Amino acid sequence: MSELEFFGHIIDNEEVESIDGKRFDVWNPYTREVWAQAAEGSAQDADRAITSARTAFDEGPWPRMGRNERAKMIHKLADLMEERTTEIATLDTKNMAKPFEQAKHDVARSVWNFRFFADHQRDHVGEVYPMDSGHHTYSEFGPAGVVAAISPWNFPLMMASWKIAPAIAWGNTCIIKPSEDTPSSVTYLGRLAVEAGFPPGVLNVLNGYGHPAGSSITGDDRVDRVTFTGSSTTGKMVMASAATHLAPVSLELGGKGANIVFEDADIDNAVYWAVEAIFRNAGQICLAGSRLFVHSSIYDDFMAKFKAAAEALPIGDPFDPNVKFAGALASKRHFEKVVSYVEGAKDLGGHFHTGGVATDGSWSVTPTIIDGLALDAAPYCEEIFGPVCIVNKFETEEEAVHLANDTRYGLNAMLFTENLSRAHRVASNLRAGTVWVNCFFIRDLRTPFGGVGDSGVGREGGNFSREFFTEPKAVVMQIRR
Ligand code: NAD
């Protein structure tokens, strides 16, 4: 046991065990071995973390310091992250079998989250309205208070940084509860914040399970904002818990992304992105293009190329630089869930063009492409969160839009066409938080990010994050009598 790494809670700038000394095992899903342990937070540990964040907000320097100074500290943290890219990426790769090259890319994206929001709060412009009555009114964006942030395991560092960065940039203090499946990189981030000289209590990391650790921070009335990324089912519980003390919530939830390939698409480009959209990160992406709609006139050609590209993906050791896709799934529990959908698709008469095989004793499923399923079949309607693409043909644009929108989710959609008018028209008609045209996964942090329906509540990004993580105030000033 002694050689296992340990990830404690980071509370008040100290890395600590749980009060009751409880720990849980951290698995490497590729080797299927326990490689670390993490502190298992209880309600008492959550209380410690909230007290720390509350005191830091009510009495500490962070919300009171100048915007420039705060930005500098956040950039210092980003510098340290950049320096330790290899170490951090190694943690995410060990923790969820994320291909190492991709894990390094995730660190770079996380660094950018911190740099972007540090600058965004420093440089933001307020509004002043001169009024006919002889007053000026202006908007002030003061910090909201203590932020409870809860993140999932699929992009362990990146999803957490997407929440922590705007929260602390706008002068809040934060408690982040990473997924119990992937506690390592976020705890490491907490260590780096201490090293960067953050005042105690600004960034607390609380490890542990959704209940009691997560639910204890969402339900505590000393918490002013709750930002959550995870499944739609958990999101509803989080919202109910935050509602007990009327804390505003931002929920980024599940998806069942539609990917539409029109007859006038550049087929090679569409195939490239269809592969990226469903097999990157082994399909464990909320934005995955898990429902693919292909025009009937190009169906056979497209499917032949898509199948060949899927079968060419190297699967194996995530530290192997050639392995860029479809490594082991993040946990045994998740592997079993994906397999149950694959088996369900077989029982429901799905036609497997490729895949559907659990490989080499590790928790992996080969890249899987299925068509022939009914539109009410569970693998078509529900989020599988694995490397499983369900394909359908369509004949008309109206039909494609109808199929794409016929879901409880509405996180994102993609469309491939060389017809400019069609691109704009269809993008406008799709019921989704993000639409990509002839591409996938490209983000500009100034734009809104979030989902419709079961995919979430609210938007984050740029000024949308500012609205959520601050308490906007109108000040009215008499200028002349
Ligand atoms: P999950 O809902 O099981 O868990 C997410 C987090 O919530 C974990 O940290 C977990 O410990 C915590 N949690 C569980 N129960 C809780 C409770 N009662 N109170 C407070 N916290 C609780 O999700 P997951 O399996 O970790 O992640 C996969 C899901 O996340 C997928 O549905 C995926 O689509 C979604 N996701 C969405 C986005 C997005 O931006 N919309 C991004 C990534 C992942």
Secondary structure of residue 362 in the 3-state scheme: coil
> Which residues are registered as beta bridge partners of 151?
none
Q: How many whole angstroms from its chain centre is CA 426? A: 26
pLDDT value of position 357: 83
| Mean pLDDT value across residues 291-302 | 98
> Ligand 1 pocket check: which of 24, 50, 150, 447 to mutate, most ligand atoms within 8 Å of Cβ?
150
Ligand 1 atom nearest 451 alpha carbon: 41
Question: Could you report the per-residue pLDDT of 451-477, keeping only the tens digit for each?
Answer: 999 999 999 999 999 999 999 999 999
The span from the CA of 305 to the CA of 150, in Å, is 39
Please give the full DSSP string across 162-189, using - where no structure is assigned: HHHHHHHHTT-EEEEE--TT--HHHHHH
- Residue (of 34, 113, 452) closest to 251 by Cα position: 452
**For 289, which DSSP code?**
-
Give catalytic status of residue 471 as yes or no.
no
pLDDT reading at 150 higher than 60: yes
Average pLDDT, the chain: 96
Pocket lining for ligand 1, CB < 6 angstroms: 150-154, 159, 177, 179-180, 209-211, 214-215, 218, 229-231, 234, 237-238, 252-255, 286, 383, 385, 411, 451, 456
The span from the CA of 303 to the CA of 370, in Å, is 10
pLDDT reading at 129 higher than 80: yes
Q: Which protein residue's CA is at the shortest distance from atom 22 of ligand 1?
A: 210
Ligand 1 atom nearest 411 alpha carbon: 41
Residue found under tokens 């990324």: 229
Q: Which protein residue's CA is at the shortest distance from atom 23 of ligand 1?
A: 230
| Mean pLDDT value across residues 24-44 | 96
**Ligand 1 midpoint to CA 255 (Å):** 12
| Mean pLDDT value across residues 68-94 | 98
**Of these residues, 252, 263, 383, 397, which one is catalytic?**
252
Q: Which protein residue's CA is at the shortest distance from atom 39 of ligand 1?
A: 252
- In this structure, what token pair is assigned to residue 112? 């950018």
pLDDT value of position 359: 72
| Mean pLDDT value across residues 406-418 | 98
Secondary structure of residue 27 in the 3-state scheme: strand
The bridge status of strand 291-295 relative to strand 351-354 is: unpaired
The span from the CA of 252 to the CA of 237, in Å, is 13
Residue 339 sits at the vertex; the CA angle it makes with 317 and 351, to the nearest 5 degrees, is 105
Identify which has the larger pLDDT, 127 or 118: 118
Please give the full DSSP string across 423-475, using - where no structure is assigned: HHHHHHHS-SSEEEES--S---TTS-B--EETTEES-BSHHHHHHHHEEEEEE
Residue 252 in contact with residue 285, Cβ under 8 Å?
Answer: no
Q: Which protein residue's CA is at the shortest distance from atom 9 of ligand 1?
A: 179
**Ligand 1 midpoint to CA 213 (Å):** 13
| Mean pLDDT value across residues 412-431 | 98
Q: What percent of the chain has a predicted confidence (pLDDT) above 70?
A: 99
Q: Count of CB atoms within 10 A of residue 420's CB?
A: 9
The span from the CA of 188 to the CA of 127, in Å, is 39
| Mean pLDDT value across residues 292-309 | 98
**Ligand 1 midpoint to CA 262 (Å):** 33
Ligand 1 atom nearest 252 alpha carbon: 41
**Dihedral sign computed on CA atoms, order 371, 416, 433, 327:** positive
Ligand 1 atom nearest 383 alpha carbon: 32
Give catalytic status of residue 381 as yes or no.
no
Which of 287-301, 355-369, 403-417 has the lowest average pLDDT? 355-369
**Ligand 1 midpoint to CA 300 (Å):** 37
pLDDT value of position 56: 98
Model confidence at 326, pLDDT cuts 50, 70, 90, reads low
pLDDT reading at 124 higher than 60: yes
Residue found under tokens 């007859």: 263
The span from the CA of 121 to the CA of 168, in Å, is 10
Question: Could you report the per-residue pLDDT of 157-169, keeping only the tens digit for each?
Answer: 999 999 999 999 9
Question: Could you report the per-residue pLDDT of 197-245, keeping only the tens digit for each?
Answer: 999 999 999 999 999 999 999 999 999 999 999 999 999 999 999 999 9
pLDDT value of position 2: 52
The span from the CA of 89 to the CA of 107, in Å, is 7
pLDDT value of position 412: 98
Could you tell me the end-to-end alpha-carbon distance of the chain, in angstroms, rounded to an integer?
A: 76
Residue 322 in contact with residue 289, Cβ under 8 Å?
Answer: no
Model confidence at 314, pLDDT cuts 50, 70, 90, reads confident
**Ligand 1 midpoint to CA 334 (Å):** 13
Q: Count of CB atoms within 10 A of residue 37's CB?
A: 19
**Ligand 1 midpoint to CA 180 (Å):** 10
The bridge status of strand 364-365 relative to strand 358-359 is: antiparallel
| Mean pLDDT value across residues 272-288 | 96
pLDDT value of position 358: 80
pTM of the model: 0.96
The bridge status of strand 146-150 relative to strand 135-143 is: unpaired
Ligand 1 atom nearest 241 alpha carbon: 19
Residue 236 sits at the vertex; the CA angle it makes with 235 and 238, to the nearest 5 degrees, is 65
pLDDT reading at 327 higher than 80: no
**Dihedral sign computed on CA atoms, order 144, 233, 17, 35:** negative
Residue 179 in contact with residue 156, Cβ under 8 Å?
Answer: yes
Please give the full DSSP string across 104-161, using - where no structure is assigned: HHHHHHHHHHHHHHHHHHHH----EEE-TTSEEEEEEEEE-SEEEEE--SSSHHHHHH
**Of these residues, 286, 383, 397, 460, which one is catalytic?**
286
Q: What percent of the chain has a predicted confidence (pLDDT) above 90?
A: 94
pLDDT value of position 1: 47
